[in-house]
Amino acid sequence: MINLALRDYVIQRGIISIALLFIVIFIDFAIFRLMPIDPLSLMGASRLPAEQIEFLKHHYGFDKPIIEQFLLYVVRVFQGDWGFSFYSRRPVFVEIGERVWNTVILVGVSQLIAGFIGLFIGLSIASKDKAKSGKALLTGSIILYSLPVFWTGLLFVIVLALRVGLFPWSGTTSQPPPTEPLKYLLDYAYHLVLPATAIVLNSFAGAAIMVRGSALYEFQQDYVVLARAKGASNFSVLYSHVLKNAMLPMITYTALTFGFILTGTILVEIVFSLNGLGKLLFNAVITVDYPVLQSMFFVIGLMVVSANLLADMVYGFVDPRIKIG
Amino acid sequence: MDRGRKAVTKLFLFYPGKFFRLLSLSKFMMAGFLILLLFTILAIFSSWISSNPVLYENWHLAREFSQPAWVRFFDSRISENEVHGLLGTDEHGRSVLNEVIWGMRVSLFVGFLATILAVGVGTMVGLVSGYKGGKTDTVLWTITQLVLTLPVYPLLVILVAVYGANMWNIIVIVGAIWWTWTARLIRSQVLTVKERAYVDAARALGAKDRDIMFRHILPNVLPLLFANATTIIAFAILTEASLAFVGLSNPNEISWGTMLFNAISFGAFYKLAWWYIVPPGLCIGLVVLGVYFMGIGAEQILARTSSRQ
């Protein structure tokens, strides 16, 4: 019975995610078709002879009805035919495919660290909520959370990388990159320290504020009162009872704010010239590279939708009290 | 709970003196309010105390990337013509202090106007969706949830890149993205408020749907709307700064984000020009901090006033 409910839940979430993905593709398609400018003149094709313009129109399917164009677009998106970058003239799929893993690693590493730090700081704020130390920690978290994450990165570059010279200030690896795998890994990690720290400082503060809220709610629940009445120590109430329940909203929180987290990561990548999606986006905006921007929205949409789906799944398996709807 | 919220709204509208006494109930609220007040006053009077840094006639023609004047107190080796003003100069020898004050105008203007737009649209959608129910609710709520799940930033980047990076476009586009946060909150509130007895009473007396929504339900959700609006101001200001940071802003309207974009584009790094990078980011952080503090303060005050009655 429970398994059946879980299966329905998984199917329902899956259908919603697929629908969302199609909406992302539709927006991508619509923005560039509803534009006041003809897509061919964007490519700089207006000076070409008439028969070449006809050829291009036919090649890209602009002479077909709009519905057919959309279907063709969907098929091409899933085939990985994302057009060519106006700037580098290379396939967009390759351009993004080369860089997306650097972004995924940066997001993954920094969010894992931020999640753990945020959970423990949030719990300790909640357990000392009325005391001075709790209030100071809360205020500190809010201050860290308000600072723009790319600005924290800029300060790190100027002070820690350029002035003090502790860390490299730009690039994913040193140039030329080390050939030995172990040395390459160490070099990669060394370049990741500053950007990851900038993101962690921002993300853990947000998580801590959220965990504090849910932990304060849990403190008033009957099971905590019971545990206290049975003589459990503060430490064991906090870490063996409240911790598990305060962790659940963390999953939803991370998924819901994943779009913001990715935004912060992209901006930090720009600051540190990491070879990820951020650098690609920055160059695409400057060179008005529409195919890259269009695919970027799809890729980031895909990442956010999968993060939400993953969170729903984890939540469904971790918490038996799942509700549909 | 209801009476507490109504009292806050009434105080805010009719008794400003008492309103300030209410503000002082929460230190967070007071701090946030003072920070925002200071920035708003500076933004309003910015054309008196500074001049548009974009116009060439206002350039001070000091050396590019001069350090702040007070640096000489700490390091006497720096000569007098290597420094300029309170915050030094940028890549064209323009005063950074002037730019920071002038940039306040765009950042706050975009922040406030986009918020008004977002909160207005969101309130309407939330009220109608929550009150009417049925098919209207299904359609509006589905749209709200879809927009809520979309990755906001790349969408904004595309929209602004396609439709042009002028201030009004940015205001409309930012507002058109953030209304969902208000709509979600208002709808959930309306769903609980509309079950109250006085709404039934009003309906029994023959009040129109419009009157029930705006005169009976809306006043009850106003204080929460205030807390929500503060969050959206913070989002809007941060969004404007993040767009300007990748170069999506009107070059003739300098904002804090534009300053940071110029700083990284013109090699403030190599010059170690911290005086060019610290002030704009600190200002963004302070405004956002003030806004968050006000949101927390509003919650604290609501909790206190409602528990008292």
Q: In this complex, do B151 and A162 lie within 8 Å of one another by their Cβ atoms?
A: no
Per-residue pLDDT reduced to its tens digit, B113-147? 999 999 999 999 999 988 888 888 888 888 888 88
Per-residue pLDDT reduced to its tens digit, A153-170? 988 888 887 878 788 877
Give CA–CA dist A250/A63, Å, rounded. Answer: 49
Q: In this complex, do B154 and A293 lie within 8 Å of one another by their Cβ atoms?
A: yes
First to last CA, chain B: 8
For the purposes of burial, counting CB atoms within 10 Å of the CB of B170, is it exposed (0-12), middle (13-18) or buried (19 or more)? buried
Tell me which residue of A125, A122, A111, A145 sits closest to A246, measured CA to CA: A122
Share of chain A above pLDDT 70, in %: 93
Chain A residues with CB-CB distance to B152 below 8 A: 259-260, 263
Q: Which of B260, B274, B288 sits opposite A158 (nearest CB)?
A: B274
Q: In this complex, do B153 and A143 lie within 8 Å of one another by their Cβ atoms?
A: no
Chain B residues with CB-CB distance to A301 below 8 A: 150-151, 154
Measure CA B305 to chain center. Answer: 26
CA distance A227 to chain B (A): 28
Contacts of A181 (CB under 8 A, 6+ apart): none
What's the CA angle centered on A282, arms A278 and A286, to 5 degrees? 170
pLDDT at residue number B4: 58
Q: In this complex, do A304 and B264 lie within 8 Å of one another by their Cβ atoms?
A: no
First to last CA, chain A: 18
pLDDT at residue number B67: 79
pLDDT at residue number B117: 94
Q: Which residues of B touch A (CB under 8 A)?
A: 146, 149-155, 157-159, 161-162, 234, 238, 241-242, 245-248, 260, 263-264, 269, 272, 274, 277-278, 280-282, 284-286, 288-289, 292-293, 296
Q: In this complex, do B158 and A150 lie within 8 Å of one another by their Cβ atoms?
A: no
Chain A residues with CB-CB distance to B173 below 8 A: none
Q: In this complex, do A148 and B281 lie within 8 Å of one another by their Cβ atoms?
A: yes
Tell me which residue of A115, A121, A127 sits closest to A247, measured CA to CA: A115
Q: Which residue of A has its CA nearest to B162?
A: A35
A148 touches chain B (CB under 8 A): yes
Helix (H, G, I), strand (E, B) or coil at B75: coil
Q: Which of A36-45, A179-188, B72-81, B236-245 has the lowest mean pLDDT?
A: A36-45
| Token pair for A185 | 């890994």
Q: What is the mean pLDDT of residues B278-306?
A: 86
**Are B272 and A163 contacting, i.e. CB atoms less than 8 angstroms apart?**
yes
Most confident of A87-91, A193-197, B74-78, B219-223: A193-197
Confidence of residue B69 (pLDDT cuts 50, 70, 90): confident
Chain B residues with CB-CB distance to A263 below 8 A: 151-153, 242
CA distance B12 to chain A (A): 26
pLDDT over threshold 50, residue B253: yes
ipTM of the complex: 0.84
Q: In this complex, do B150 and A308 lie within 8 Å of one another by their Cβ atoms?
A: no
**C-alpha torsion angle, residues B295, B296, B297, B299 (rounded to 10):** 90
Alpha helices in A61-156 (DSSP H): 66-79, 92-127, 132-146, 149-156
Q: In this complex, do A154 and B281 lie within 8 Å of one another by their Cβ atoms?
A: yes
Q: Which of A158, A162, A259 sits opposite B151 (nearest CB)?
A: A259
Give A178's DSSP letter: P
Determine the number of helices (DSSP H) and then strands (DSSP E) in chain A. 14, 0
Q: Which residue of A has its CA nearest to B245?
A: A267
Per-residue pLDDT reduced to its tens digit, A230-253? 888 888 888 888 888 888 888 878
CA distance B281 to chain A (A): 6
| Token pair for B70 | 């007070």
Give CA–CA dist B68/B194, Å, rounded. Answer: 59
Strand partners, B83: B67
Q: In this complex, do A281 and B246 lie within 8 Å of one another by their Cβ atoms?
A: yes
pTM score > 0.80 for this model? yes
| Token pair for B24 | 């002082």
CA distance to A13, B85, B258, per residue, from A305 (Å): 10, 50, 31
Q: In this complex, do B292 and A155 lie within 8 Å of one another by their Cβ atoms?
A: no
Q: What is the mean pLDDT of residues A177-200?
A: 88
pLDDT at residue number A324: 46
Give CA–CA dist B183/B178, Å, rounded. Answer: 9
pLDDT at residue number B53: 78
A65: left (phi over 0), alpha (psi -120 to 50) or beta: beta
What is the residue-averaged pLDDT of chain A?
A: 84
Q: What are the structural domains of chain B?
A: 3-69+78-308 (1.10.3720.10)
Q: In this complex, do B157 and A282 lie within 8 Å of one another by their Cβ atoms?
A: no
A11 touches chain B (CB under 8 A): no
Q: What is the mean pLDDT of residues A203-225?
A: 87
Q: Which residue of B has its CA nearest to A272?
A: B264
Q: Which of A27, A158, A267 sits opposite B277 (nearest CB)?
A: A158
| Token pair for B210 | 């419009």
Give B253's DSSP letter: S
For CA atoms A110, A112, A115, A118, the dihedral sign is: negative
CA distance to A115, A154, A268, A299, per residue, from A192 (Å): 18, 15, 11, 22
For the purposes of burial, counting CB atoms within 10 Å of the CB of B71, is it exposed (0-12), middle (13-18) or buried (19 or more)? middle
Give helix A66-79 / helix A2-33 axis angle, nearest 10°. Answer: 120
Give CA–CA dist A93/A79, Å, rounded. Answer: 10
Give CA–CA dist B283/B35, Å, rounded. Answer: 10
Tell me which residue of B32, B85, B43 sits closest to B292, measured CA to CA: B32
Per-residue pLDDT reduced to its tens digit, B138-189? 888 888 888 887 888 888 888 888 888 888 888 998 898 889 889 988 888 8
Q: In this complex, do A148 and B263 lie within 8 Å of one another by their Cβ atoms?
A: no
Give helix A290-318 / helix A258-272 axis angle, nearest 10°. Answer: 130
pLDDT at residue number A307: 87
Give CA–CA dist A43/A56, Å, rounded. Answer: 10
Q: What is the mean pLDDT of residues A67-90?
A: 85
